[in-house]
A and B are shown apart, each in its own frame.
Chain A
Amino acid sequence: MIWSVAEDIAPLLSFALAMVAILAIPVRPGGVFNRTAKGFFAASILCYLVSSAASIMGHYYPAFTAAIDPAVVSIELLWVPFIAFGVYALYSHQQLTDAVSSRHAVKTAGEMLESVMETAPAGIVVLNDAGAITFANGEARRLLDIVDEGSSSLMSPDWSVRLTEGHDHATPSRRDFKELVAPDARHDARVLVSWPNGWHRHLSVNTAPFEDGAGRVGGAVAAFVEREPSTGIVR
């Protein structure tokens, strides 16, 4: 009875090594592998470990091995779904890990941006393509006298807005910041905001437009500071 290196030892050794290596892969939070993928890979290797062991047993118990040969063939057949499920489980786990880490990154960035907005000494607003305010930080709420009663209050201000510089004559008053929503960024634009009771504020505004999904101007971020103390007289 001679063991064949090619037929018996090499397959058994190779799959035993593969099994050890797979079982040694660490599973860690945020890692590439999870237990399900590892389990399927280990099962696929186990199929061939059983097959190799059955081949060796054939030297000692030929009749028994011949009897279980159909079962061994079926076990080898299981390699196909096991390896496919293993790869798919690995891919699904990576997709899920990516989604979770992306959500965490977005949340962290959002919190940081919110901190920047609230601590900035300038008033910062986000304007939609119609020039309506969709977000205003604390300083912007103070300068524009926005009362926070829900997002709808941002859309219906009682003041009017007028660009006062960079034009031959002042532009008509508007009830939004549409004039600031343009393809090009503005720097130190002068804006006059007036209230019905006669109060007004002169603001210096910087704007940066942003695109919507179709490549058009989807709105702008505007940061403004007050140029001079407020007066009750509109000049």
Chain B
Amino acid sequence: MIVVSHNAVSNAFKLVAALAFLPVMFTIARNIRVTEATRKAFILGVIAIIASFAMTAIDQQVGVRLGAYDLLFRWVRHLTVSLGGFSFAWAAWRARRHEVTMAGDHR
């Protein structure tokens, strides 16, 4: 029997909310005037975070049944989150570099 906890509902809602915003975010991200490196890194970050949402929701339901693979699953989930974080960092850094260059300040 699957026990639906508050966290399970929250995690599921988080995933649904993210997926609902996904088309809008991608549409806007395609149209904003940034460098391609920034755009791709940002989109990769969004995908990674939403994938981690999905993995969290799955882990919430079947984690116990994964047995020895539960730890591996959690590691992969956290690495996915980290990938999102590094992608955002890269996107922001490239955006910063572009802005500094455009401003004519090369310090």
Contacts and interface: CB of A to CB of B under 8 A. Distances in A.
Nearest to A44: B88
B28 A77 contact: no
A22 B38 CA distance: 12
B54 interface: no
A83 interface: yes
Given A6-B82, A70-B7, A26 B100 contact: yes
B69 interface: no
The listed residue with most A CB atoms (<10 A of its CB), out of B13, B24, B75, B96, is B96
Contacts of B11: 73
A73 B82 contact: no
A202 B39 CA distance: 63
B25 A22 contact: no
Nearest to B29: A87
B82 A14 contact: yes
A157 interface: no
B10 A45 contact: no
Given A14-B82, A32-B34, A94-B32, A21 B89 contact: yes
A31 B18 contact: no
Given A10-B79, A80-B17, A21 B99 contact: no
A64 to B, nearest CB: 16
Interface string A13-26: 11101101110111
Interface in B1-32: 6-7, 10-11, 13-14, 17-18, 21, 24-25, 28-29, 31-32
Interface string A141-160: 00000000000000000000
